[in-house]
């Protein structure tokens, strides 16, 4: 609990409170399911926090070792590598995929005939999940003799070993991630849908061009949604696991080049039976994400516009 | 509105069909007083059907015992098993990976198999899962590794396959180069992963060392690791082996393998997969022994297992589970049903009894193994705890060497350092 | 963008393992038996797994919509003591890597006697444990004009009536988004069902799909592709049906 409380994440309200009368009772009533749900959530949370300070091999009872896990992390080169992979992945892929999602959503929001099909097509890569069939598909696309390299060869370019060369594997995952921009796109679509058309009509009457309309209407009114996608993508991206797991067959290879922080955590916890260390890693990531999110919320005061 | 109605109707139908299922309604419980054993393993649907056929026989012979199985492909097996053990809800009987055995056994999570009759097993098979002098697992089947060569390709390019019983690593290099040259570079002569431990184990033993010693220490020397890396680098330089990055492990299986696709003329496989590799590669594979077996300080190949059977120490029905395990290992009817899906039956009499009924492809792999079992081979020792961290760092370093970011000597030194560190923890 | 779907379709009609030897998209020979064989290849007909998945998905959507929208309205529009703290806590639940929670969660559900039932997969969805959807809805609700609430209050509406009559209908895009995302994530969820369901009679589609092939066996690849294609159809169908709530409607009818 203490860690959670110390996390200075700001709540959405920035408006002066005195405008409102207190609504404690109805507030708690609305939150009732969530309070009950927190019982489920909070027990495992506390358990893992405790385990972070123990030596726990999953099979014998955990032994309290204080800060040893955290000390070990400081000297762990693989951990540093995994942090680097995760940060590079996040810094590159989050802005790119959000920009792609917003751009495509702007085009697809219009009421043109046949657009539902296009929307589905753009969403398709994100619908696939990571079933066995999809894993094989990636192999087919990105293999040394894969579709992409055949296409490149046709253009006279010798394609690289996309997934097996340590200098390219992470790039491949970033491309894949940007390609699956469907989820933020859907959220943007829903957000655009909520902007009252009257605003645009008024602006058109005033002679505002498309760029003006985008700058002065779409961006500010969409800012809560952009903010949501940004916060959410950052949290999700720093916790990336499946992409690395699937592409490398669970190893983070080639040569640790796709060893995401969470993948390394998984390997420590479940392959090397070191769940105490994995829990410590989890809580360090938790604090990192919490701080980053808090900074996001603070910065939001300058660019996110709410109506309340 | 119509669509909503349809959705509601679908939901209603779904809920109806699920009545009692999944909501604690039961319907899946065993008859009163019966013992229900939970058995988990990895594999595909084909293996499931064969396993179920054996279990049907067992349940007919043992009224009052019901066996409930769970299976999936191998990828999610580790975490599922570990979670169930950690939460105090382990299965009764489970497939156990060789490299996880001691992680579980050393911590008292597995039942010592004192009550199991293992008389029919050869000495190597019996010792596979021995931790000091206690046994915590029994091989579900036996395998080894072997070299498969695609005869269709060698015939096409007019390259003679060396004598698989006596060939050396140099012979492999010559053979591989010949294939690549004769095919004009369309087919590579051979390809295998440097970081697959089973491959390196053989090479290490041939040089008189053990990768892991009986005491669980690191037996391999830097010189051997370096020689292994150099061996591959030489073959890559001569183009007998494909360039770095060509081999792709993700989701590898017989059907996806390069030998099936006709891009490699030979590769190393676990022998219990011979059937599926041969089917995938067009049915004309030859199964050779590993190179270097007659030139080395001693033999390198060993009798291994794709998976062990182990029993949870916490099992509520250890007696019944032991009876099931005894049936799977020692009863010919069980192996008649399962065939060689997990390798050659470990019980030698059972293996001999089912051999005539096997498909010809299965007989090839079975004979290979029966042959090996009759020879004096070095023992294969269990992976010490920390073994998986070592496997991980070998993979990283081998890739670095493959892409020439490290020399074989640097890689070997780095590997020994990291492996020692992993074992010290 | 279409390539994955076409590839999957093409792989599903290629006989046996030829999918790996015939790389072209257009199959050299067609074999529809993958569908009929795959449907009956496992212990139960594939329709059972589809039905199981559908039940879980539909109930999860209902649960998520109800519980998350309630919580979201509370966070977005009501002022109560501890709101900031609870909101931070709620966001915090998204930030801890799930792998370290697996074991404690399993223990909790085992203690409740919920193993081998759908409860571990469903009940949390009715209790707003998915912070992603709450946060999503909060952002949408905060984008709605606050005058709406004020007007409703002046008309004598309590918070529940305001929520039900005014905010909910206007939040339709957020609801549609939540429903679509829930469908996809629950439909594809693998590890939860793997851990909590023992009986193959209760299995969901992703569990069933992972019984077709393994690297050690001579597996039925074609059947796996065929059933993967079958299992993709409901997701695409649901998206196409639901996406119109994302774009058309009162607010944008005037837009050219």
For A49-98, write each residue's pLDDT tens digit.
999 999 999 999 999 999 999 999 999 999 999 999 999 999 999 999 99
Whether B44 and C43 have beta carbons less than 8 Å apart is answered as: no
d(Cα B205, Cα B224) in Å, to the nearest integer?
10
Choose among B244, B243, B261, B239: nearest CA to B252.
Answer: B261
Per DSSP, the three-state class of B13 is helix
Whether A194 and C144 have beta carbons less than 8 Å apart is answered as: yes
Q: Count Cβ atoms within 10 A of the Cβ of residue B27 and give its class: 0-12 exposed, 13-18 middle, 19 or more buried.
A: exposed
Q: What is the mean pLDDT of each run of 10 residues along chain B (425 residues)?
A: 51 53 59 84 94 97 94 91 95 94 94 93 88 91 95 95 96 97 94 91 96 92 97 96 80 82 93 91 94 94 94 96 97 94 94 92 91 89 88 92 95 96 86
d(Cα B217, Cα B385) in Å, to the nearest integer?
10
Q: Is the Cβ pair B341, C217 closer than 8 Å?
A: yes
CB pairs under 8 A between A and B: 92
Nearest to B399 among A139, A143, A166 (CB): A166
CB < 8 Å to C255, chain A: 110-111, 197, 200
Is pLDDT of A247 > 90? Answer: no
A44 Cβ contact list (under 8 Å, min separation 6): C101, C104, C105, C108
Whether C138 and A227 have beta carbons less than 8 Å apart is answered as: no
How distant is the alpha carbon of residue B234 from its chain centre?
28
Per-residue pLDDT band at C5 (split at 50, 70, 90)? confident
- Terminal-to-terminal C-alpha distance of chain B: 64
**Strongest mean pLDDT among A141-145, C26-30, C187-191:** C187-191
Listed range (A161-175, B221-235, B298-312, C18-32) with the worst mean pLDDT: C18-32
Whether A224 and A304 have beta carbons less than 8 Å apart is answered as: yes
d(Cα B362, Cα B273) in Å, to the nearest integer?
9
Is pLDDT of A2 > 90? Answer: no
- pLDDT given at position A12: 46
CB < 8 Å to A30, chain C: 70-71, 73-74, 78, 159, 163
d(Cα B129, Cα B309) in Å, to the nearest integer?
10
- pLDDT given at position C216: 79
For residues A148, A154, A158 and A160, what is the CA-based torsion angle, rounded to 10 degrees?
Answer: 0
Distance from the Cα of C87 to chain A's closest Cα (Å) equals 6
Choose among C9, B62, C66: nearest CA to C58.
Answer: C66
B408 Cβ contact list (under 8 Å, min separation 6): B225, B226, B229, B230, B233, B401
d(Cα C235, Cα A131) in Å, to the nearest integer?
14
Q: Is the Cβ pair A27, C78 closer than 8 Å?
A: yes
d(Cα B375, Cα B389) in Å, to the nearest integer?
33
Distance from the Cα of C132 to chain A's closest Cα (Å) equals 8
Is pLDDT of C255 > 80? Answer: no
- pLDDT given at position B4: 53
- pLDDT given at position B153: 95
Nearest to A165 among B75, B245, B249 (CB): B245
d(Cα C256, Cα C254) in Å, to the nearest integer?
6
Q: Is the Cβ pair B255, C221 closer than 8 Å?
A: yes
| 3-class secondary structure per residue, A139-189 | HHHHCCCCHHHHHHHHCCCCCCCCCCCCCCHHHHHHHHHHHCCHHHHHHHH
- pLDDT given at position A140: 81
Rg (CA), chain C: 22
Residue of C nearest to A1 (CA): C89
Is pLDDT of A28 > 70? Answer: yes
- pLDDT given at position A20: 53
Q: What is the pLDDT of residues C171-211, one digit of tens each?
A: 888 999 999 999 999 999 999 999 999 999 999 999 999 99
d(Cα A225, Cα A190) in Å, to the nearest integer?
9
Give the Å distances, CA to CA, from B219 to A199, B169, B222, C201. Answer: 76, 22, 10, 48
Nearest to A37 among C87, C96, C129 (CB): C129
């Amino acid at each position: 609990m203490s860690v959670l409380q110390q996390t200075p994440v700001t709540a959405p309200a920035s408006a002066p409170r005195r405008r409102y009368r207190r609504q404690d009772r109805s507030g708690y009533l609305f939150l009732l399911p969530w309070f009950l749900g927190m019982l489920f959530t909070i027990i495992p949370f506390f358990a893992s926090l405790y385990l972070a300070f123990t030596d726990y091999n999953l099979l014998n009872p955990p032994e309290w070792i204080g800060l040893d896990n955290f000390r070990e992390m400081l000297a762990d080169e693989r951990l540093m590598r995994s942090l680097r992979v995760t940060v590079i992945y996040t810094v590159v892929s989050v802005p790119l995929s959000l920009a792609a999602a917003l751009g495509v959503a702007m085009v697809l929001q219009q009421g043109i005939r046949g657009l539902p099909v296009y929307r589905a097509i753009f969403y398709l890569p994100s619908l696939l999940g990571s079933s066995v069939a999809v894993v094989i598909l990636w192999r087919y696309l990105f293999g040394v003799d894969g579709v992409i390299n055949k296409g490149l060869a046709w253009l006279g370019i010798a394609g690289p070993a996309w997934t097996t060369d340590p200098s390219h594997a992470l790039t491949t995952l970033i491309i894949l991630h940007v390609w699956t921009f469907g989820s933020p796109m859907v959220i943007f679509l829903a957000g655009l849908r909520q902007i009252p058309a009257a605003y645009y009509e008024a602006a058109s009457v005033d002679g505002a061009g498309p760029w003006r309309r985008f700058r002065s209407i779409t961006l500010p009114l969409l800012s809560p949604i952009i903010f949501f996608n940004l916060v959410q993508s950052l949290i999700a991206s720093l916790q990336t696991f499946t992409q690395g797991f699937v592409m490398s067959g669970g190893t983070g290879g080639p040569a640790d080049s796709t060893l995401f922080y969470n993948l390394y955590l998984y390997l420590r916890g479940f392959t090397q039976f070191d769940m105490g260390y994995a829990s410590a890693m989890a809580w360090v990531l938790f604090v990192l994400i919490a701080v980053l999110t808090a900074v996001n919320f603070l910065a939001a005061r300058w660019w996110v516009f709410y109506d309340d | 509105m119509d669509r909503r109605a349809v959705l509601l109707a679908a939901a209603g139908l779904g809920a109806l069909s699920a009545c009692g299922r999944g909501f604690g309604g039961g319907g899946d419980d065993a008859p009163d007083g019966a013992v229900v054993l939970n058995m988990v393993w990895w594999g595909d649907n084909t293996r499931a059907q064969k396993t179920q056929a054996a279990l049907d026989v067992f349940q007919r012979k043992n009224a009052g015992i019901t066996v409930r199985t769970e299976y999936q492909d191998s990828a999610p097996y580790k975490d599922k098993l570990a979670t169930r053990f950690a939460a105090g809800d382990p299965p009764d009987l489970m497939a156990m990976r060789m490299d996880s055995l001691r992680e579980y056994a050393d911590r008292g999570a597995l039942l010592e198999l004192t009550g199991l009759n293992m008389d029919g097993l050869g000495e190597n098979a019996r010792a596979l899962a021995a931790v000091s002098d206690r046994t915590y697992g029994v091989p579900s089947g036996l395998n080894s590794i072997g070299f498969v060569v695609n005869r269709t390709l060698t015939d096409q390019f007019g390259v003679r396959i060396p004598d698989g019983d006596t060939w050396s690593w140099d012979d492999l290099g010559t053979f591989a180069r010949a294939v690549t040259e004769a095919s004009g570079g369309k087919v590579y002569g051979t390809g295998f992963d440097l970081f697959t431990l089973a491959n390196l184990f053989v090479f290490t033993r041939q040089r008189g060392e053990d990768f892991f010693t009986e005491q669980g220490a690191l037996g391999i020397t830097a010189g051997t690791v370096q020689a292994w890396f150099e061996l591959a680098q030489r073959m890559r330089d001569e183009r007998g082996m494909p360039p770095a990055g060509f081999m792709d492990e993700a989701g590898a299986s017989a059907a996806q393998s390069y030998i099936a696709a006709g891009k490699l003329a030979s590769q190393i496989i676990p022998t219990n997969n011979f059937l599926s590799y041969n089917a995938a590669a067009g049915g004309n594979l030859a199964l050779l022994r590993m190179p270097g077996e007659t030139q080395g300080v001693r033999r390198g190949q060993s009798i291994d297992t794709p998976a062990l059977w182990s029993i949870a120490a916490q099992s509520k029905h250890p007696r019944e589970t032991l009876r099931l395990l005894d049936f799977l290992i020692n009863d010919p009817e069980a192996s008649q049903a399962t065939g060689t899906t997990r390798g050659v039956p470990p019980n030698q009499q059972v293996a001999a009894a089912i051999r005539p009924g096997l498909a010809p492809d299965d007989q090839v792999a079975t004979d290979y193994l029966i042959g090996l079992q009759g020879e004096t081979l070095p023992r294969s020792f269990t992976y010490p705890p920390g073994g998986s961290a070592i496997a991980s760092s070998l993979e990283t370093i081998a890739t670095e060497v493959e892409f020439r970011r490290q020399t074989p000597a640097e890689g070997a030194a780095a590997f020994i350092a990291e492996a020692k560190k992993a074992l010290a923890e | 963008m279409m390539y994955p779907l076409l590839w999957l379709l093409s792989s599903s009609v290629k006989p046996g393992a030829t999918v790996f030897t015939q790389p072209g998209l257009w199959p050299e020979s067609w074999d529809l038996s993958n569908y009929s064989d795959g449907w009956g290849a496992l212990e139960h007909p594939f329709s059972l797994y589809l039905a199981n998945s559908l039940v879980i998905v539909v109930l999860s959507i209902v649960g998520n919509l109800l519980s998350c929208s309630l919580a979201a309205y509370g966070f977005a529009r009501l002022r109560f003591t501890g709101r900031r703290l609870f909101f931070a806590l709620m966001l915090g639940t998204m930030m801890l890597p799930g792998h370290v929670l697996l074991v404690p969660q399993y223990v909790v559900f085992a203690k409740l006697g919920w193993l081998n039932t759908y409860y571990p997969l469903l009940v949390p969805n009715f209790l707003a444990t998915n912070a992603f959807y709450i946060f999503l809805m909060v952002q949408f609700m905060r984008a709605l004009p606050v005058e709406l609430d004020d007007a409703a209050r002046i008309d004598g509406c309590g918070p529940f009536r305001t929520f039900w009559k005014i905010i909910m209908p206007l939040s339709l895009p957020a609801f549609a988004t939540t429903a679509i995302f829930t469908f996809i994530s629950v439909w594809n969820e693998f590890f939860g069902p793997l851990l909590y369901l023992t009986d193959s009679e209760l299995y969901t589609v992703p569990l069933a799909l992972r019984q077709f092939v393994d690297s050690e066996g001579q597996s039925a690849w074609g059947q796996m592709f065929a059933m993967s294609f079958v299992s993709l159809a409901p997701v695409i169908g649901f998206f196409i049906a639901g996406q119109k709530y994302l774009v058309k409607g009162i607010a944008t009818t005037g837009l050219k």
